[in-house]
Copies of this chain bind each other. A is one copy, B any other.
């Protein structure tokens, strides 16, 4: 539905919508004929919700497309990911609340280890702690490039973010991370004419950084990826008439939330904190994005049972959401991460939509196969927010 038409229908009210995202929720059976992680998990609370809810599967980007974290979440927030391409650098910068400006270019920076020949021996610098990362970023503050301001900020562990500010910068620059060890880091190469100045800026940044880091082994090298400019995204308040809050633990998810204008509740460390925050801020917002990361992490590890356990952990958390009596609750994931694949995947993701005026289907278990038989079949993920608005009575009738 075109933005301007939807805007005409918006009918804000006090009703509350909760979007509970179990990152990487969708999965696959360990062996043919078996159950997926979600189907294996003992989830009495989610099953009870599914029984009363409208169920289905969603595709965040498109048929056969594996979503990254940012597009997966943008879709769940109601933004067609292909209309709003968001690079990794921007997600990282937003995640630590770095105040990017139009024209800035951000990139993810990983501290790494190289040997005396400059060959990368560890792409994560022995997973140095965040404090070390902070100290190293301060050290890199000494980099000086004429005409370009440089900001280096720690994110978490070995991960940091660098932002270049100046005239004529762009994100048309390729990654320097070779994605393997035993080879040198790549040169930052422009991917088009537009990227020439940024690539040479990055090259000079790396040259000076390597000098500054010479005595800092295991963090004596850096790898850059995800050069990205800040996209213009209309905030959820303007687009959907919502007052949205993000209750996320991980920086990247705070980052995507900030991009769509959510207020980020900071300092949350786990589901208990998230439940407390939900209670504390309940009256202040009408859309709550609650994010749980570790189902994806354990899927990426290839640990089927650990992913099952994370899903069960979220199930046990569900009553703390229901204690608030949300008018609409959507439970889903941003993409699938089957433990058997150890990566994000293109499989559709189960969802349930719970609320007063839902039309129950015959699904009584929250899982991939049951949801495939749900009311909605497979829908574009970007439509979920529109459904949430409808079931929360926040959309008026279209036409006479």
Where the two chains meet, the residues of A that have a C-beta atom closer than 8 Å to any C-beta of B are 1-2, 5, 9, 28-29, 32-33, 36, 52, 57, 61-71, 81-82, 85-88, 91, 226, 228, 338, 340-341, 343-348, 357, 359-362, 368-369, 372-379, 383, 386-391, 395-400
Contact A390 B66 (CB under 8 A): yes
The complex places the Cα of A48 from the Cα of B36 at a distance, in Å, of 21
Report whether A340 and B368 are in contact in the complex, using a CB–CB cutoff of 8 Å: no
A359 touches which one: B66, B71, B368, B383 (CB < 8 A)? B368
A344-B395 CB under 8 A given contacts A372-B375, A389-B64: no
State the CA gap A389–B344 with chains docked (Å). Answer: 16
B62, B66, B374, B379: the one within 8 Å of A396 (CB): B66
Quick check: B378 and A372 within 8 Å, CB to CB?
no
Interface SS majority for chain A: loop
Q: Are B398 and A68 in contact (CB under 8 A)?
A: yes
Q: Are B82 and A28 in contact (CB under 8 A)?
A: no
Which of B29, B374, B398 interacts with A61 by CB under 8 Å? B398
B397 and A66 within 8 A (CB): yes
Judge whether A36 and B359 touch: CB under 8 Å.
yes
Q: Which of B67, B82, B369, B398 contacts A66 (CB 8 A)?
A: B398
Contacts of A378 in B (CB 8 A): 375-377, 379
> A63, B383: Cβ atoms under 8 Å?
yes
Give Cα A2–Cα B85 distance, bound, in whole angstroms: 13
Q: Show 24 A/B contacts (Cβ-Cβ < 8 Å), sorted by A.
A: A1-B62, A29-B359, A32-B52, A62-B383, A63-B390, A64-B388, A64-B389, A64-B391, A65-B395, A66-B390, A66-B395, A66-B397, A67-B398, A68-B400, A70-B399, A70-B400, A71-B398, A81-B399, A86-B400, A226-B400, A340-B357, A346-B391, A372-B374, A377-B378
